[in-house]
Amino acid sequence: MNTKDMHEIRVFAPATVANVACGYDVLGFAIDAPGDEVVVRPSDTPGLHITKITGDNGKLPMEAAANTAGVAALDLLRHLGMSDRGIEMEIHKKMPFGSGLGSSAASAVAGAFAVNTLIGEPLTKQQLLPFAMAGEASADGAWHADNVAPCLLGGIVFIRSNDELDVACIPAPNNLWAAVVHPDIEILTKVAREILPKEIPLINATQQIGNLGGLLCGLIQEDYGLISRSIHDVIAEPRRQKLIPDFYRAKRAAMAAGALGFSISGAGPSVFALCEGEETARKAGEAISKVFSAVPLPNQIYVSRINPHGVHVIP
């Protein structure tokens, strides 16, 4: 792209489902919606400046160095020796905070990707990973790529090492769909992490490793039966389910509707069901939604194939 002819870049960064039941902090996938949008344009004023934020109800800082999208972009510009480059940024939050859908990751990914595109794409998506990670880490202090990596790269991503950011893209079966339901409550990642066990019995660790291996094999082999047998979390879900009203009732409803498996998206409160086929996914989504609505708890349903694209430029 010729930056001389470039007046504005608008990008979309999708929501993600992290952990995927048995892959705590090491597995995640992208969905089509919701997501965040970031707009960048050249400026005559040196440095990166956030000029507008929408959809945040005044929660997010306008100072670039204190904002996840700004931190990711600034880190990238420093790396490239372009800290004085004049750039204006707008952030349009189109997904809820504390939803378990990777809101902070989406903003960080969008910020890094938008600026990289504006300046002529000196880095590949894969090379942008540490800068997007720095942005998300500025929000929650954690360093795990199970939201950032699939948001950036698209598809299903396995993280062998979060410290080394050693990631691998896993093929998604053609007819694999996700029904994601977000109940209108907020769960802070910090709280969701604090209730996890500090030690894990060997029998649970062995079972979790088996389930993760089975899920990866099932995805690669397009074996829906193996996928279904493997979507079980024996570590985080038993502790975190208490933060989500009628969690197990929602799980039973999803499975009765034909879902392959059901669990918590990230730290919650969003939940997801993996399904074979769009029709089953829509039925599962509606079944889960009815459970939350009966609480009563307003909720939103998102039905999507696994998003293969991740963050991308939009008109």
189 is catalytic: yes
Q: Strand 156-161 and strand 27-42: pairing?
A: antiparallel
136 is catalytic: yes
Q: Which residues of 267-301 are buried (b: 16+ CB within 10 A; e: fewer)?
A: bbbbbbbbbbeeebbbbbbbbbbebbeeeebebbb
C-alpha 108/C-alpha 193 separation (Å) is 21
Residue from 136, 237, 276, 280 carrying the catalytic annotation:
136
Number of neighbours of residue 162 by Cβ within 10 angstroms: 17
Residue from 189, 237, 276, 280 carrying the catalytic annotation:
189
Which helix (H) or strand (E) element contains residue 91? strand 87-92
**DSSP one-letter code for 242:** G
Question: Integer distance in angstroms from the first to the last C-alpha of the chain?
Answer: 15
What is the phi/psi pair of residue 133, to 5°? Answer: -60, -40
Point out the residues that are catalytic: 136, 189
